[in-house]
């Protein structure tokens, strides 16, 4: 049992490192943003890297956090201020196994305007029902917009509700998935959909969005294809890092 648990944990850490690299390569995160996954042996705990740029994350940077977002094994490593996003969403959503928080540039305009982010193509069908989080409603208009404690994390988790995506006004978004790979897939296609939707709106004609029924059907179909995206993105991420290190492909 112990060997299997260790293997599961090692695999979760390795995949989390890859997830960080994919999200950077696909323009979802830059120097900021983070992705977590539930601990495979302690589902009330989660794994999240130390506070650093996602593209630089390696296995030794991954830290276990408890259900309140407190680091279990930081050993002097700095932790993300907004780890409470992850802790409180995991607490509220037992169906969620991974959380991505990002400030992807194409998504932010939908959080600061009255234009609703909606699925415009089948790969982003999960966006139907995306919610909005307005920190002013719970904490006034003088915060720094950051989810820096459990109270704000709980408020965000309530705003997310049962949706896959919530937009944080002036701050980006959170995306959740039933697996790490699904959360990464959704984070990437949230950014892509936002870019396409913006382009469609500029054409000056009415935009045709997916219907609720189309969204549900497409989401079911796409759930079987997440691995295809992950395999491609992971391969590309590994090749880029080999090239950066001057190693042969």
Half-sphere exposure for 18 (CA within 13 Å, toward CB): 22
Structure tokens at 57: 């994350």
Q: Which helix (H) or strand (E) holds 234?
A: helix 226-244
Instruction: Convert 97-126 to b/e letters by CB count within 10 Å (16 or more is b).
Output: bbbbbbbbebbbebbeeeeebbbbbebbbb
CA 17 vs. chain centroid, Å, equals 13
67 catalytic per annotation: no
- Torsion-angle region of 62 (φ positive above 0: left; ψ -120 to 50: alpha; else: beta): beta
Q: Catalytic: which of 10, 64, 67, 82? A: 82
Rounded CA gap, 22 and 55, in Å?
Answer: 8
Strand order in the sheet with 46-49: 62-65, 46-49, 34-38, 98-102, 172-177, 165-168, 131-133
Instruction: Convert 146-155 to b/e letters by CB count within 10 Å (16 or more is b).
Output: ebeeeebbbb
What are the residue numbers of the active site?
A: 82
């Amino acid at each position: 049992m112990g060997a299997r648990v260790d293997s599961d944990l090692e695999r979760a850490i390795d995949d989390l490192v890859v997830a960080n690299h994919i999200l950077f390569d696909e323009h979802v995160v830059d120097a900021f943003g983070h992705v977590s996954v539930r601990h495979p042996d302690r589902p009330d705990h989660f794994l999240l890297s130390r506070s650093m740029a996602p593209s630089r994350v390696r296995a030794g940077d991954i830290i276990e956090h408890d259900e309140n977002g407190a680091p279990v094994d930081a050993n002097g490593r700095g932790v993300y201020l907004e780890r409470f996003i992850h802790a409180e969403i995991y607490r509220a959503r037992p169906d969620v196994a991974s959380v991505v928080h990002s400030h992807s540039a194409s998504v932010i305009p939908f959080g600061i305007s009255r234009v609703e982010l909606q699925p415009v193509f089948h790969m982003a069908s999960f966006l139907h029902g995306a919610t909005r989080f307005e920190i002013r409603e719970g904490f006034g208009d003088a915060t720094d917009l950051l989810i820096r404690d459990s109270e704000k994390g709980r408020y965000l988790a309530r705003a997310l509700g049962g949706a896959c995506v919530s937009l944080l006004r002036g701050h980006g978004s959170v995306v959740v998935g039933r697996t790490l790979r699904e959360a990464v897939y959704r984070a990437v296609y949230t950014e892509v959909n936002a870019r396409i939707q913006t382009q469609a709106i500029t054409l000056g004609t009415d935009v045709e969005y997916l219907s609720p029924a189309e969204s549900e059907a497409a989401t079911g179909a796409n759930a079987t294809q997440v691995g295809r995206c992950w395999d491609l993105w992971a391969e590309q991420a590994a090749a880029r890092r080999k090239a950066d290190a001057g190693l042969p492909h």
